[in-house]
Structure 1
């Protein structure tokens, strides 16, 4: 991971965000030449699904700027991002179930209920229906709804807003927020937060933030 990169904006090239897998062929995964058909297919599935944990493990925040359709695997990419903005042209669906597969794919069964609640997630996944940007905003899937020509600028502006904070503080916050979704009890979350705060308080960037606040100037972070 390039430490000079402070944030990632994920958007589609062209008229759509991502329509998911090419139904004419799912491609291959490395080192599967010697495997049987089922085993090779499973390797491809795992290879594709590994993208979502990879997004989550990045220390930088990932902002999805959803332009046009986000279906199937593209929908999962939206769910796996840290912040989601949508153009008014955006459309979403858990498309896997529409082609005879389970809607539970590439992390969707874990991510969607945590973003919109279990009841709404069940309905969206069991039907596989397409829903628009207005509904995505209404159910809390996306945090902002924008005109298409303003979407990318808004996503970049959001990234710059996050960059006003220290890189270590941002990375810890992202890690802690995702981790808290898996922590079973309040005290476990507090224990994690306590460790994060002690680590962050020992950094030069924390001292710089305090000095900048006292001197009424923007902080100059060095990720140290």
Structure 2
């Protein structure tokens, strides 16, 4: 092995870690052909989150930054519901007993989940049916794409429990998805946004029948995996980072990002396929 190959192998060993075989503890995880599916699976309670599941989700999405065998993620819930938010008995009740440092530890942990979801290069598709409330609405919000059903009900419930609507980035992200006025209404009132309303407002990319929801979300994820996945990761990064840029900064950042993508083999594959009147087969490099 040449010195170049030795150094490349050492670099990859520290920065590329397969996750397809990950064994989840607090939710279900399956991976097929580059598409990972996370299923929140406490259907008897409408799939609430706990301290432990928050932490595992945060760590998993953080690890996805280094995964070279997962190229898109689907997040869904079992039993006809997405997620009812933080578990009333395992999170809400215990929070009343915690002092300020531990409360801040908790709110930072939940915020770190959103940071990890936005920071991983894989596009995330949320498949939302039934109840999607509180932290569940935040997980859907932090995803890149959302498929819903007519019977879905999305509610940012923080106001209903005496808390501010500024939770886990909601005041930053939600207005960018549905507009300031609509976001303000949901965050001030905590009312549920029905499926057809969510589609009309741009919250959902589209509505599908409940029986087809997961299959359609996975099909969307497979389409993303079949595309230029390195370039998709750049697109996600720029969509996130450009929130805080001026137009001039964004145009320059995109010039640099696109020049980088022009160095990829996928860009050459696309050109050669076009010249040969064929469909390109992207490989993510």
TM-score after normalising by structure 1: 0.91
- 1:146-201: CA deviations, max 9, x gaps? 11011111111211222232111100111111222222x21111101100111011
Indicate the residue corresponding to 1:172 in structure 2. 234
Indicate the residue corresponding to 2:77 in structure 1. 12
Is the partner of 2:237 in helix, strand or coil?
helix
Q: Distance in 2 between matches of 1:89 and 1:112?
A: 21
- 1:79-134: CA deviations, max 9, x gaps? 10001110222101110110111111011111111111111111111011112101
Q: Distance in 2 between matches of 1:222 and 1:82?
A: 22
1:110-189 superposed matches below 5 A:
110-183=172-245, 185-189=246-250
Indicate the residue corresponding to 1:190 in structure 2. 251
Indicate the residue corresponding to 2:124 in structure 1. 62
Q: Distance in 2 between matches of 1:161 and 1:222?
A: 13
The alpha carbon displacement at 1:71 in A equals 0.4
Q: Distance in 2 between matches of 1:48 and 1:188?
A: 30
Q: Which runs of 4+ in 1 moved over 4 A?
A: none
* CA-based RMSD: 1.4
Indicate the residue corresponding to 2:260 in structure 1. 199
Q: Which runs of 5+ in 1 are unaligned?
A: 28-35
Which residue, out of 87, 93, 96, partners 1:22? 87
